[in-house]
Amino acid sequence: MPWRRPCYNPRVLPMRILIPTPLRSYTGAREVEACGQSLAEVLLDLDRRYPGFRFRMIDEQDKVRPHIRVFINGEQTFDVQHVLQPSDAIHIVQALSGG
């Protein structure tokens, strides 16, 4: 896959995102950078660079899938419209689902 820069808006600084193992086949790395003023924008940025990434963790109703969790600065959120600050750290993790 050709490398694509994380930010298409030069006025927005990229933030770091921790990627869980099931999604690293898309990113090829445990940590990547992306830009956006909300979680939704960050996920669109990731999907632009890693096509298919977003649908694996966000469903067609724009809900976080049941076994995926998103933490922003250590706080869990299910709101894809969550507003972000440039210094925010985003952790995407797979939920402990047993079995």
In the complex, which residues of this chain contact other proteins (CB under 8 A)?
A: 1, 20, 22-23, 25-26, 50-53, 55-63, 65, 67-68, 94-95, 97, 99
Nearest-angstrom CA–CA distance, 27 and 15: 15
Q: How far is the CB of 74 from other proteins (least distance, A)?
A: 21
Q: How far is the CB of 55 from other proteins (least distance, A)?
A: 6
- Decide: 8 and 53 in contact? Cβ < 8 Å: no
In this complex, which beta carbon is closest to other proteins, that of residue 25 or of residue 85? Answer: 25
Nearest-angstrom CA–CA distance, 92 and 94: 7
